[in-house]
Structure 1
Amino acid sequence: MSANIMRGATAVVGVAEQHYKRGEAPHSEKRMTLEVILRACADAGINPREIDGFVSYAGGANDGAIIGGALLIDELRWSNMMWGGGGGSVAAAITNAATAIATGQAECVVVYRAMTQADTGRLGYAKYHYGSHFLAHGIGSPAQICAMRTQRMLEHGGVPRSAMRSLVLASYQHAQSNPTAQGYGRPLDEETYEDSRLIAEPFHLFDCSRESDGAVALVLVSAERAKTLRPDPAYLLAGAQGAPGGYSELIDNDLGEQYMTAGFGPANNGKPGVAERLWSAAGLGPDDVDVVQVYENFSGPAVAALIDHGLCPPGEAAGTFMTVENLTAPNGKLPINTSGGNLADSFINGLNLAVEAVRQIRGTSTNPVEGAKTSLFIGGPMAPLVSSVLFGHEDTL
């Protein structure tokens, strides 16, 4: 058992999300943020004025003071932003909120993210992660950067492309049971996947996440209070963030085999990386995970993230493990992205995946994994900073 003081100290008690086809949001990011926070508070059974902390990530104009003022909260005690990594820092934002509560800096913290094309444009062109050496050679989007790393994983690492295809097909299969998913009613078969146009080799159209307008919020409180609010809190068992040194630069300066990984592996000095620190803090390992929500900016990085966490074998064996049957709920060996994920449900910079991770602990997913006690959320892989959070049922404490 881990001696980590953070383990089980906090829990998610309220969640809410809303999403629309990109460019079709009826309201501003600020209004949608307020709406999902109010709904998340209702889900938790708390008064919104009790919120005293706010955490977001990847930028945004609506900081904690602005949102807290609009909600007429009683006091603001914690307001910060996870910088770096874009969607890679999404799970770190949840850990950040849990840290504030566990250390007494705040009592009720909301993690939130909102995106609309009208307010902030799209994320397709990377203006803040990549240096001029990329732009000078015509490389200016996350798809192109992740494609190069993924191609290395396929050619040098020996991972078959079928692993990527299976992840995509499993996501779309899950979406058919989720009426709010943007891929609902649009099943995807292998032939359609293979025939879709190339975006950046080896990524075809369906390998790429769909950006959405919308907003997401999660409400965290102490474990002690969580037990008084609802019978099914999702406890935070562990969280970790970071990246090997080369990942943290504006140029791809990764050492050796790191270039084809997702960034969750060991540090340049050999010390434990994000995945190993997560398992150590949780006192659990990959074999203890019941269900996974992995951020698929693109299918290749998601596969690499599963390998980094020890959930999928590397090399050719990844193709044997990564089958649609193994990846789908309720009976797969490791159900993945059970709402449809960023590929087939929605994409609010990945925070929507955290909501689904919580639903699996509650048993309220549209594709529930029966008896799920642990639910892993992996933030944006192959980003300059990556992060993961492991949620657990009360039985895991």
Structure 2
Amino acid sequence: MSLRDRVAVTGIGETQYQRGAARSSTALQLEAALGAIADAGLAPRQIDGIIPIGITGAPAEELATNLGIGELRYSALTPMGGASSIAAIQTAAAAISAGLCEHVLIAAGRNVSSGAKAGQRIHQMPQFHLVTEFELPLGAIAPAQLYAPMARRHMELFGTTSAQLGEIAVACRAHALLNDNAIMRKPITLADHQASRMIADPFRLLDCSLESDGGAAFVISGAEAARDMRQPRVLVSGVAEGHPDSPSAITQRPDMTRLGLAKAAPRAFAMAGMTPADIQVAEVYDCFTWVVLCQLEDMGFCAKGEGGAFVGEGRIRLGGRLPVNTHGGLLSQAHMLGLNHVVELVRQLRRQAGRRQVEGVEVGLATGYGDLGDGAITIMRRG
């Protein structure tokens, strides 16, 4: 059985993104969840499946209690770091198609900008217990340190430059300027990127995603039920997850420049009956600029090693061949574990994105990047 067009995203919600939020991650998660449920035209009691995302926020049972859900028939976890929210779409689609539930809420909340630092938080994740043999003894404890060798390897093999990575940061910031719910609202230039301080070679400050607080959520429903719901249908035409070779140790891979997305993307495109040429907008997980570049290659928008040239000449900006991260992404809107990428894709396909709307968009995709290179992708279309 194919999951093609079996489910739709029927509701989206997000809080104001900020730093130093006064409310708990659970409160932020609940606000976003209620917004998504209302956007779908549902009452909380009609939600019968929950997939919470991330190591902050509430588990399914706590969400069900606080939301007043009548009967929770299905819950799950997709512990894949930044790939979790896209992997959750696949899980929800399978559960709904199997008749286990009707409306699945996928929600996250974060209040981290004034608390534990990223290097401390990520080591609460199960997958980070696996890097103790090769990476941790060399002092790699934070994401920038873990992924920097991957980017450096790409540079050595293909001649990719820091300035090419900067093109991604500048494009995301330009899009964030059109988004009232983006944290970073000051324009940047490529010169600003090149002048920003080094964090972990080759990553400069402006290559790195934000530390931010907020909540985001969306509702997945059966495709037929979605016909009669409040918002225009946004169908999930393709979805898949993939894991890299040597999934538990980055530095032991035969090719550090190939992510799990390289395995997932062909399956998602085949399910959707599409190719990269059909995609009109892409919300690509951007914990670091290089991760965007590598994913564009692994999805087939260009050949391996050609990502640096591909992102130049305005190609990934609004008005270009493939607008990327039209909301500003994790680099400039907010780090919301990739749920904000799904929210933005749905807005684009509903044609509700305001000043940053891609004209005439019918098909788009969103990706997730897991902490050790896991990949997930969803291809959606107007229904």
TM-score by length of 1: 0.90
Establish whether residue 304 from structure 1 lines up as the match of residue 300 from structure 2.
no
Determine the structure 2 residue equivalent to 1:14. Answer: 11
Cα drift, residue 384 of structure 1: 4.1
CA distance in 1, matches of 2:26, 2:46: 19
Determine the structure 1 residue equivalent to 2:326. Answer: 338
Determine the structure 2 residue equivalent to 1:100. Answer: 95
CA distance in 2, matches of 1:60, 1:103: 29
Establish whether residue 369 from structure 1 lines up as the match of residue 358 from structure 2.
yes
Determine the structure 2 residue equivalent to 1:73. Answer: 69
Determine the structure 1 residue equivalent to 2:163. Answer: 162
Q: 1:262 aligns with which of 259, 262, 269?
A: 259
Q: Could you report, residue by residue, the CA deviation over 1:340-376 in whole angstroms, capped at 9, with x for unpaired residues?
A: 1111111111211110011110111141111111111
Q: Is the 8 A contact 2:81 2:371 kept in 1?
A: no
Establish whether residue 113 from structure 1 lines up as the match of residue 114 from structure 2.
no
Alignment of 1:276-315 (within 5 A): 276-315=266-305
Which 10-residue stretch deviates more, 159-168 or 226-235? 159-168
Alignment of 1:52-63 (within 5 A): 52-60=48-56, 62-63=58-59
- Aligned letter for 1:380? Y
- Aligned letter for 2:44? P
- Aligned letter for 2:251? D
C-alpha distance 82-33 of structure 1, shift in aligned 2 (>3 A):
same
Q: Is the 8 A contact 2:113 2:213 kept in 1?
A: no
CA distance in 1, matches of 2:299, 2:102: 31
Cα drift, residue 390 of structure 1: 0.9
CA distance in 1, matches of 2:113, 2:362: 40
Structure 2 SS opposite 1:21:
coil
Establish whether residue 241 from structure 1 lines up as the match of residue 238 from structure 2.
no
Q: 1:319 aligns with which of 278, 288, 308?
A: 308
Cα drift, residue 35 of structure 1: 1.2
Misfit runs of 4+, over 6 Å: none
Gaps of 5+ in 2: none
CA distance in 1, matches of 2:341, 2:377: 12
Cα drift, residue 224 of structure 1: 0.8
C-alpha distance 44-333 of structure 1, shift in aligned 2 (>3 A):
same
- Aligned letter for 1:99? A
Establish whether residue 39 from structure 1 lines up as the match of residue 29 from structure 2.
no
C-alpha distance 118-290 of structure 1, shift in aligned 2 (>3 A):
closer
Q: Is the 8 A contact 1:262 1:382 kept in 2?
A: no
C-alpha distance 119-102 of structure 1, shift in aligned 2 (>3 A):
farther
Determine the structure 2 residue equivalent to 1:270. Answer: none
Q: Is the 8 A contact 1:55 1:109 kept in 2?
A: yes
* Cα RMSD, aligned residues only: 1.8
Q: Is the 8 A contact 2:57 2:108 kept in 1?
A: no
- Aligned letter for 2:299? H
Determine the structure 2 residue equivalent to 1:389. Answer: 378
Q: Is the 8 A contact 2:134 2:251 kept in 1?
A: no
CA distance in 2, matches of 1:382, 1:286: 25
Q: Is the 8 A contact 2:7 2:235 kept in 1?
A: yes
C-alpha distance 95-30 of structure 1, shift in aligned 2 (>3 A):
same
C-alpha distance 250-58 of structure 1, shift in aligned 2 (>3 A):
farther
Q: Could you report, residue by residue, the CA deviation over 1:4-49 in whole angstroms, capped at 9, with x for unpaired residues?
A: 5311111011101114333x21211222111111111111111111
TM-score by length of 2: 0.93
Q: Is the 8 A contact 1:89 1:386 kept in 2?
A: no
Q: Could you report, residue by residue, the CA deviation over 1:106-143 in whole angstroms, capped at 9, with x for unpaired residues?
A: 10100111111289734344414222432221111111
Structure 2 SS opposite 1:379:
strand
Determine the structure 1 residue equivalent to 2:227. Answer: 227
Determine the structure 1 residue equivalent to 2:341. Answer: 353
Aligned-residue identity in percent:
32
Q: Is the 8 A contact 2:51 2:76 kept in 1?
A: yes
Q: Is the 8 A contact 1:301 1:382 kept in 2?
A: no
C-alpha distance 324-295 of structure 1, shift in aligned 2 (>3 A):
farther
C-alpha distance 119-37 of structure 1, shift in aligned 2 (>3 A):
farther
Which 10-residue stretch deviates more, 51-60 or 278-287? 51-60
Establish whether residue 91 from structure 1 lines up as the match of residue 86 from structure 2.
yes
Which 10-residue stretch deviates more, 91-100 or 337-346? 91-100
Q: Is the 8 A contact 1:302 1:381 kept in 2?
A: no
